[in-house]
Chain A
Amino acid sequence: SQQGEEDPQALSIQEGENATMNCSYKTSINNLQWYRQNSGRGLVHLILIRSNEREKHSGRLRVTLDTSKKSSSLLITASRAADTASYFCATDLGGGATNKLIFGTGTLLAVQP
């Protein structure tokens, strides 16, 4: 079963605009990660936020985490056509050395030039 549900399922914006994607999950987590997947490719790690963190930045990416609401958001600022991809949240439930990630359903982002 998938732990995360992403919203929206699809998003279309113009280059230069900001894109916000949301992720909700069901159980307590150790950390939450965001991955990007370009069409026909594997997933690429973007950013990791620990359960005791509320916000994290990496370049044009900003991630927030609200453990009380079991939700996270990914903001991409000043989007570019190259940002067109599917974005997945993944929850790490912790529990020792297993490092098992449970992926959400994904948001398909299209950035129009």
Chain B
Amino acid sequence: EAGVAQSPRYKIIEKRQSVAFWCNPISGHATLYWYQQILGQGPKLLIQFQNNGVVDDSQLPKDRFSAERLKGVDSTLKIQPAKLEDSAVYLCASSLHGGGLAKNIQYFGAGTRLSVL
């Protein structure tokens, strides 16, 4: 099966500019996650969707970050305006929804490396 697709792979912008990342999860996966991974750290959850509804966005900086998952399939994460501290890798992951341990395993895309200058 095809994995989680993300684009672009790399993005360089100047501070105060805006940027958007795209994610297409594994077919049939109802749950989609966006993580921020700063160099040398583990991934931090930004937002979690189940189908097209938000389950958890408690760590999303809502003054500058936004995300949507129209039609419950692919998703877009936007930053506007970007700050220097937003430089990180943005990872998208997906998982099944339903009973059993299968829903506990997350499948990750390769990520988008963002550099804010």
Contact = CB atoms under 8 A, between A and B. Distances in A.
Q: Are A and B interaction partners?
A: yes
B114 interface: no
Interface residues of B, number: 27
B72 interface: no
Given A42-B91, A98-B55, A98-B56, A103 B43 contact: yes
B91 A43 contact: yes
Contact of B4 (A42, A104, A106): A42
Contacts of B109: 42
Contact of B42 (A42, A88, A100): A88
B60 interface: no
Contacts of B101: 31, 48, 50
A105 to B, nearest CB: 5
Interface range, A side? 20 to 34
Interface in A78-113: 88, 90, 92, 97-106
A38 to B, nearest CB: 10
B42 A97 contact: no
Contacts of A2: 41-42, 44
A44 B111 CA distance: 12
Interface string B10-34: 0000000000000000000001000
Contacts of B44: 2, 103
Specify which of B40, B42, B106, B113 lies most central, judged by the most chain A CB atoms within 10 Å of its CB.
B42
B116 interface: no
Interface in B32-54: 40-45, 48, 50
B43 A99 contact: no
A77 B60 CA distance: 39
Ranked 5 nearest A-B pairs via Cβ: A42-B108, A103-B42, A43-B108, A42-B110, A45-B105
25 contacts: A2-B41, A2-B42, A2-B44, A31-B101, A35-B108, A40-B110, A41-B110, A42-B93, A42-B109, A42-B111, A43-B43, A43-B91, A43-B93, A44-B108, A45-B106, A48-B101, A48-B104, A50-B101, A90-B42, A92-B104, A102-B45, A104-B42, A105-B41, A105-B42, A106-B41
